Structure 1
């Protein structure tokens, strides 16, 4: 079995950050940022994946990122 790491560069160093984004329609017009995500990004190459914060709270996000 191959070692798991970033799918782009193979690095095993990653970090997370929480971000919020606007949707469409009225939320965009009034800049209401109700879409919350956790971004996991490779510290080596910058490759990033977004995970819905509400549906990802029970699992280890870094395990999802590394497969």
Structure 2
């Protein structure tokens, strides 16, 4: 890849956060946050991508974001 970086603005400054969200049905009714994700976001423009925490390695997640 010739131009690694954010697909929106080209910045190479990114960060990640872990978030949890409710699903549907009873988990939503009882506010059970059983869906965990890693959010990788561009510090330049705020563009974000969500990755399922259970299927992605957090050590390689920034490589996925920047290609």
Q: TM-score range by the shorter chain?
A: over 0.9
- Residue 64 of structure 2 corresponds to which residue in structure 1? 64
Which 4+ runs in 1 deviate beyond 2 A? none
- Residue 18 of structure 2 corresponds to which residue in structure 1? 18
Aligned residues: 67
- Residue 35 of structure 2 corresponds to which residue in structure 1? 35
Instruction: State the TM-score, normalizing by the size of structure 1.
Output: 0.94
Runs of 5+ consecutive residues of structure 1 not aligned to the other structure? none
Instruction: State the TM-score, normalizing by the size of structure 2.
Output: 0.94
- Residue 44 of structure 1 corresponds to which residue in structure 2? 44
Alignment RMSD, CA only? Answer: 1.3
* Whole-angstrom CA distance in 2 between matches of 1:24 and 1:3: 39
